[in-house]
A and B are shown apart, each in its own frame.
Chain A
Amino acid sequence: MTTPLALKVNGNAVSVQVEPRTLLVQLLRETLRLTGTHVGCDTGQCGACTVHLDGRAVKSCTMLAVQAAGCEITTIEGVAAPSGDLHPMQAAFKEHHGLQCGFCTPGMVMNAIDLARSKADLSEAEVRGGLDGNLCRCTGYQNIVKAVLAGAAAMRS
């Protein structure tokens, strides 16, 4: 049994048939082949699947695809400029070595962009707290925090 679903992904209109139990992340990865969004856990803890839904960071493994009907989704593939130039937050992650294996990175960047938009002049403690829903096993977070602070500043300028 499938159900029709229409939404926007990275600016493109998408119209598909999905099983009702399909998770948003499954729609993105398997149906739309947007594999930049990752799955690291089954319990909403790791945040590797974070995307933007109508501009806010959400974990795409903890919502059904049909719940995104009519919404606008942005994934990591939709963040850089069409020219390929990195978004300021992406550039900050590169400059400050805020990634190693890269697996948590898309979720980190998506959450960081939302965090930066949510409040001007984030403190380091606010960034650390704001990243609570995103696990990284490689970096020890220090350079991610540095990158988010720098990326947020760059987004404001």
Chain B
Amino acid sequence: MSESLLGQSVRRKEDYRFLTGSGTYTDDVTVPGQLYAFFLRSPHAHARIRAIDTAAAKAAPGVVAVYVGTDLQGKVNGLPCGWLITGIDGQPMKEPVHPPLAQGKVRHVGDQVAMIVAESLNQAKDASELIEVDYEVLPACVDPAQARAPGAPLVHDDVPDNTCYVWGLGDKAATDAAFAQAAHVTTLEYINNRLIPNAIEPRAAVAQYHRGDDSYTLHVTSQNPHVERLLMTAFVLGLPEHKVRVIAPDVGGGFGSKIFLYAEETVLTWAAGQIKRPIKWTAERSESFLADAHGRDHVTKAELALDKHGKFLALRVHTTAGLGAYLSTFASSVPTILYATLLAGQYTTPNIYCEVTSVFTHTAPVDAYRGAGRPEATYVVERIVETAAREMKIDPAEIRRRNFITQFPYQTPVALCYDIGNYEGTLSEAMRVADVPGFEVRRKEAEARGKLRGLGYSAYIEACGLAPSNIAGALGARAGLYEAGEVRVHPTGKVTVFTGSHSHGQGHETTFAQVVAQRLGMSVEDIDVVHGDTGRIAFGMGTYGSRSIAVGGAAIVRALDKVVAKGKKIAAHLLEAAEGDIEFENGEFTVAGTDKKVPFAQVALTAYVPHNYPLDKLEPGLNEMAFYDPTNFTFPAGCHICEVEIDRATGETRIVNFTAVDDFGKIINPMIVEGQVHGGLTQGIGQALLEACVYDKESGQLITGSMMDYALPRADDVPNFKVSTQETPCTHNPLGVKGCGEAGAIGAPAAVINAITAALWPLGVRDIPMPATPQTVWRALQTAPKARSGRA
């Protein structure tokens, strides 16, 4: 092959169906005889259910069944949590029961109280209004900072102080000792704002029971259908795993929120078996706001100790993390394993200690949302580093350079071992692209127009490619984190690839096809990639943590290795040569040093029509699969530089420049990678400037419960990003790749807030809360210590 397909912006194979309205999303699936479900949800944040009267609803037109919590008792178990965290007291985390339909109490607004099943959706909704629930409303606590206060209402009676665990990582004594030696200590206290993921496709499910073989099919909006099936069958419903097929068809964005096993599809599947008819449920957007797992929700105090030259001596972090009312599937791991382990950032900080107190509140569950722990860690590190630089009057880029890790592999004091990186490389390239030397001129020009202009950095790192199963297991994971890939070569030489990764926008059907096409010397058109179906794919752990190419792609490469190895045996037979002399390149098996060759397609045909074939030594067929378990995490890293202009009169912040230089290792499809970065940056900017999940502190009502109240970024909220990549190939996976899906959301918030605080620093403002809305910034401007004197 003259030119490598790896590194080419191949246009996406999946686009035609999406552009012509031919995709199949879960709500597009309609099954003959299908019923519709509607969930009656709690209007209260915390209440005891004295009684539920469903008689009128059951008698309403078209209603087939109404289920409440007591109907499920002894039949449907609670939803499990997939990660066990052990506290600093040596005790396992508290795991209160997470009933799919409320039992005795409701614990957040939107908690499922009843499921109504009817012939039509309108009938189900109409009937829901006939259900009478007698609530005894109780006081609620929605603020993680207040959850442990004396007298705070308990979310679960058997969880004292609302505390799931108090967990620590790092050497506390050494860290405290280092602080005692510090020439300077920078302290920041802030909230990492709670976010609502808002994939544009709402969650949905269609559950079918098949009487003929006592089996089930569940179509569901999932990022990991095999995990969904395993959790649902083995832990909740007690169904035989092989009797349930879970299909995650086209999925309209996930961002973490579709990783988890949710109550709705669980009850739906169980009810389909009871009623023996298919049932569909599709969330309304208000249900997405109330009942999808949310993200972030940290309250943090961070302290950085430095010597007089600006070298970091120690970092000490105390975080209280809100978990919501119940433990969602991976909730416990997000503010711990995926957070504190990243607190070294790109720096040689020798002593780090982090203590995390995770608490229950009367709010929707909180779990992984794009970045999951790593944006929170980056925010800690990059905000405090930039603040320390300003306090010590050291250039923010210079203070980073003085502390960069430059020798690899590098063992951090918080468990991870970085295999490779080039932080100076991404920083200096970002500074070049962002024209940092020209900033002062731009700032003065803006000042003349009455605008404040600031420039902020974020030199982030993330741990992706989740994860080595043995390490994850030692850290409490209750699952393996390998991936499966299967390469099925058909008799004509065409290929179908089956991957346990799931694409819900990431373009795997194209990227993975490029990997296979390159190896087998074929065209991407001759390769189809199948994902998202437990009935077709052997197994899979799914897509999250930027793991698809690094782990799922690696599994495909391992399967390709097996295909090529078997192909060589067949070719050796056909070419009457020794297997060791066979080479495979550009789609042809050749005998080294000769012109004897046989094309791949002929080897494939021979494997399926084995007339002239070593049947005594080799099985027919050419279909290979592999499981790949990574030996380490991957460590994508980079530098984001944000430049903002602030209107002094209105407090409005405009992003005037945003530069991202990322090191994702080897790149398969640059177009797709850039798209992933654009999207991640926009979600990060959303967190920094626009998005806030707000619960009323008294009533526990969700104030930001619709797209009219919760500000998602729109096209005119974001700039054109300057995005480029640098490359230090990952040292331990076969493609040298690191993953790119979350980087934007991880790096951007700190860059934006660093830019805003840079602009406001001369006025005496050292911090600004997220989201930095015009009102927030305007208030800061009004109360700024040096507001009247203008720029110092």
Q: Does A pair with B?
A: yes
Question: In the complex, how many angstroms separate the beta carbon of A147 from the nearest chain B beta carbon?
Answer: 10
Q: Which residues in chain A, 76-126, are within 8 Å of chain B measured between CB atoms?
A: 76-77, 79-80, 84, 86, 90, 93-95, 97, 99-106, 109, 124-125
Residue ID in chain B nearest A109 by CB atoms: B19
Question: In the complex, how many angstroms separate the beta carbon of B77 from the nearest chain A beta carbon?
Answer: 32
A143, B712: Cβ atoms closer than 8 Å: no
Cβ contact of B21, chosen from A77, A128, A143, cutoff 8 A:
A77
B716, A42: Cβ atoms closer than 8 Å: no
Residue ID in chain B nearest A129 by CB atoms: B716
Chain A residues within an 8 Å CB radius of B253: 100-101, 103, 137-138
- Choose the segment among B9-17, B101-109, B578-586, B633-641 that binds chain A (4+ C-beta atoms closer than 8 Å): B9-17
Q: Assuming the A-B contacts A94-B11, A94-B12, A97-B671, are A138 and B20 also in contact, with contact meaning beta carbons closer than 8 angstroms in the complex?
A: no
Chain A residues within an 8 Å CB radius of B282: 39
Q: Assuming the A-B contacts A94-B12, A137-B199, are A36 and B21 also in contact, with contact meaning beta carbons closer than 8 angstroms in the complex?
A: yes
Chain A residues within an 8 Å CB radius of B250: 101-102
Chain B residues within an 8 Å CB radius of A77: 20-22
A104–B23 CA distance with the chains assembled, in angstroms: 12
Cβ contact of A76, chosen from B20, B25, B251, B679, cutoff 8 A:
B20
B28, A101: Cβ atoms closer than 8 Å: no
Question: In the complex, how many angstroms separate the beta carbon of B509 from the nearest chain A beta carbon?
Answer: 11
A142–B677 CA distance with the chains assembled, in angstroms: 11
Q: Which label, helix, strand, loop or mixed, suits the secondary structure of the B interface? A: loop
Q: Which residues in chain A, 47-61, are within 8 Å of chain B measured between CB atoms?
A: 48
Chain B residues within an 8 Å CB radius of A90: 19-20
A145, B715: Cβ atoms closer than 8 Å: yes
A90–B20 CA distance with the chains assembled, in angstroms: 8
Chain A residues within an 8 Å CB radius of B716: 125, 128-129, 131-132
A62–B676 CA distance with the chains assembled, in angstroms: 31
B14, A97: Cβ atoms closer than 8 Å: no
B706, A142: Cβ atoms closer than 8 Å: no
Question: In the complex, how many angstroms separate the beta carbon of B719 from the nearest chain A beta carbon?
Answer: 8
B715, A144: Cβ atoms closer than 8 Å: yes
A138, B706: Cβ atoms closer than 8 Å: no
Cβ contact of B715, chosen from A79, A101, A109, A127, cutoff 8 A:
A127
A66–B713 CA distance with the chains assembled, in angstroms: 33
B682, A140: Cβ atoms closer than 8 Å: yes
B20, A137: Cβ atoms closer than 8 Å: no
A29–B253 CA distance with the chains assembled, in angstroms: 20
B20, A79: Cβ atoms closer than 8 Å: yes
A75–B19 CA distance with the chains assembled, in angstroms: 11
Chain B residues within an 8 Å CB radius of A41: 285, 706-707
A36, B200: Cβ atoms closer than 8 Å: no
Q: Which residues in chain B, 22-71, are within 8 Å of chain A measured between CB atoms?
A: 22-25, 27-28, 30
Chain B residues within an 8 Å CB radius of A138: 200, 253, 505, 675, 679
Residue ID in chain A nearest B287 by CB atoms: A42
A41–B255 CA distance with the chains assembled, in angstroms: 17
Cβ of A156 within 8 Å of any chain B Cβ, yes or no, is no
Cβ of A68 within 8 Å of any chain B Cβ, yes or no, is no
Residue ID in chain B nearest A105 by CB atoms: B18
B505, A40: Cβ atoms closer than 8 Å: no
A101, B251: Cβ atoms closer than 8 Å: yes
Q: Which residues in chain B, 95-135, are within 8 Å of chain A measured between CB atoms?
A: 122
Cβ of B708 within 8 Å of any chain A Cβ, yes or no, is yes
A: number of interface residues (CB 8 Å): 57
Chain A residues within an 8 Å CB radius of B672: 97
A132, B122: Cβ atoms closer than 8 Å: no
B714, A101: Cβ atoms closer than 8 Å: no
B715, A132: Cβ atoms closer than 8 Å: yes
Chain B residues within an 8 Å CB radius of A38: 25, 200-201, 252
Residue ID in chain A nearest B201 by CB atoms: A103
B21, A43: Cβ atoms closer than 8 Å: no
A79–B466 CA distance with the chains assembled, in angstroms: 41
Cβ of B683 within 8 Å of any chain A Cβ, yes or no, is yes
Chain B residues within an 8 Å CB radius of A127: 715
A35, B28: Cβ atoms closer than 8 Å: yes
Cβ contact of A40, chosen from B202, B674, B714, B718, cutoff 8 A:
B202
Cβ contact of A100, chosen from B30, B679, B708, B744, cutoff 8 A:
B679
B27, A39: Cβ atoms closer than 8 Å: yes
Cβ of B190 within 8 Å of any chain A Cβ, yes or no, is no
Chain A residues within an 8 Å CB radius of B299: none
Chain A residues within an 8 Å CB radius of B426: none
Cβ contact of B19, chosen from A29, A48, A105, cutoff 8 A:
A105
Q: Assuming the A-B contacts A94-B11, A94-B15, A137-B199, are A103 and B25 also in contact, with contact meaning beta carbons closer than 8 angstroms in the complex?
A: yes
A51–B714 CA distance with the chains assembled, in angstroms: 20
Cβ of B284 within 8 Å of any chain A Cβ, yes or no, is yes
A135–B718 CA distance with the chains assembled, in angstroms: 13
Q: Which residues in chain B, 519-570, are within 8 Å of chain A measured between CB atoms?
A: none
Question: In the complex, how many angstroms separate the beta carbon of A26 from the nearest chain B beta carbon?
Answer: 9
A102, B505: Cβ atoms closer than 8 Å: yes
Cβ of B678 within 8 Å of any chain A Cβ, yes or no, is yes
A82–B200 CA distance with the chains assembled, in angstroms: 29
Q: Assuming the A-B contacts A94-B12, A100-B675, A135-B707, are A141 and B682 also in contact, with contact meaning beta carbons closer than 8 angstroms in the complex?
A: yes
Cβ contact of A19, chosen from B122, B284, B708, cutoff 8 A:
B122
Cβ of B198 within 8 Å of any chain A Cβ, yes or no, is yes
Residue ID in chain B nearest A77 by CB atoms: B21
Give the 3 A-B residue pairs with the shortest CB-CB distance, closest first.
A36-B21, A103-B252, A102-B18
Q: Known contacts A100-B253, A134-B715, A135-B200; can you find 8 more A-B pairs with CB under 8 A?
A: A97-B9, A99-B18, A101-B251, A103-B201, A106-B21, A109-B19, A141-B714, A142-B721
* 9 interchain pairs, CB-CB under 8 A: A36-B22, A41-B706, A76-B20, A86-B16, A97-B671, A97-B675, A101-B200, A132-B716, A137-B253
